[in-house]
Amino acid sequence: MGPLNGVRVVEFAGIGPGPMAAMLLADLGADVIRLDRPATADAVRAGAPRPHMASGRPILGVDLKTEEGVATARRLVTAADVLLEGFRPGAMERLGLGPDDCLGLNPRLVYARMTGWGQEGPLAHRAGHDMNYISLNGTLHSIGRRGEAPVPPVNLLGDFGGGTMFVVTGILSALVERQSSGRGQVVDAAMVDGSAFLASMIYEDRQRGSWTDERGTNYLDTGAPWYDVYECADGGYVSVGCIEPQFYAAFLRGIGLAGAELPDQWDRDRWPELRERFAEVLRTRTRDEWADLLGDTEACVQPILSMPEAADHPHVKARGSVIRKGDHLYPGPAPRFSRTPGAATRDPDYPEPSLEDALKAWGVEVE
């Protein structure tokens, strides 16, 4: 049933980090009801594909522009432990569903707000996406190769790292605090805040003088030749991450350069020379040959796999990190628990909760 069994969450449908957070809470056993547009709910009920990351919870069609829809939402809020919304600041207030309204109905409610810019500040009401948020807090500037443009890290850093993981952390923290106070509170999670926090180590290294603002010149941003990706003989790639001296020594042994005349590992001026030596050697074998040769060593080298390949890797398969079921590929539940394991709501065989049963369990009637 998961460690969050018994926690009731009402999710106001959105995109990106909000649905991911609701899916994670559902994986962990929370009882989530998603409020979405009536047309979307009707389409899903008729068999249409669910919206992205909307697995594991029933979808209730609610028109929040009507008094009836708002009244339904209020009834759910009264019965919920958590409210999760991702609208621009002020939108829920205009609907009569803002924090003051909802905490007035349910003082124990954890009211979680997931936005890009936060609830206040000069850009609070401005549109944006993942890449915009990590642009403004210095994070994106640090990602990329020397002399080249910054490289957006898909939407993993802003949306899901700085967004989902911080709003879930806020929700769980507020639920723990409620046990002693008996009161709910508002969680203001902003992607611009969370992704800046994720860069804490880089900010600290910069303060200490061990990190420069020039991309691709540092030890974790492809500047160091022993922390980078390399092309192999077949066009595949391996990742090399041998930072510590013992792992670096194992890497040199593994690729046949132990005892060779090489620059010192930390001689930044000669990193280009060292990189060329590594690249030359790693181009002599295929990706999988290097994986077989170095897989049982401490060289910190791994093949870079596609998503379909990842599902078949022995370690990933053993952990259930990525699962293949028929033509479905999906990540397994995380983290893991010894007594109350969660479930992957993305599993095509996962029994989608009944909306009628959920509403009955919550004691909410929908006219």
How far is residue 11's CA from residue 62's CA, in Å, rounded to a whole number? Answer: 12
Q: Which tokens is 363 given?
A: 């004691």
Q: From the CB of residue 79, how many other CB atoms can be counted at a distance below 10 Å?
A: 17
Are 127 and 197 in contact, with CB atoms under 8 Å apart? no
Q: Exactly one of 63, 101, 129, 205 is catalytic; which is it?
A: 129
Examine the residue annotation and report whether 159 is marked as an active-site residue of this protein: yes
Tell the residue number behind the tokens 């009161």, with chain if given: 183
Place of tokens 């295929």: 286
Give me the amino acid identity at 151.
Answer: V
* Cβ atoms of 23 and 362 closer than 8 Å: no
Side chain identity at 297, as an amino acid letter? T
Catalytic residue among 36, 159, 188, 221: 159
Chain center to CA of 311: 19
3-state secondary structure 220-241: CCCCCCCEEEEECCCCCEEEEE
Q: How far is CA 62 from CA 24, 37, 56, 324, 367, in A?
A: 23, 6, 19, 35, 11
Instruction: Copy the structure tokens of residue 260.
Output: 């060779």
Q: Where are the alpha helices (DSSP H) in 9-142?
A: 17-27, 38-45, 67-79, 91-94, 99-105, 130-136
| Residue 129 annotated as catalytic | yes
Query: Within a 13 Å sphere around the CA of 248, how many CA atoms are in the beta-carbon half?
Result: 15
- Residue 52 φ then ψ, to 5°: -55, 130
As a whole number of angstroms, the distance between CA 230 and CA 240 comes to: 8
What residues are annotated to the active site?
A: 129, 159
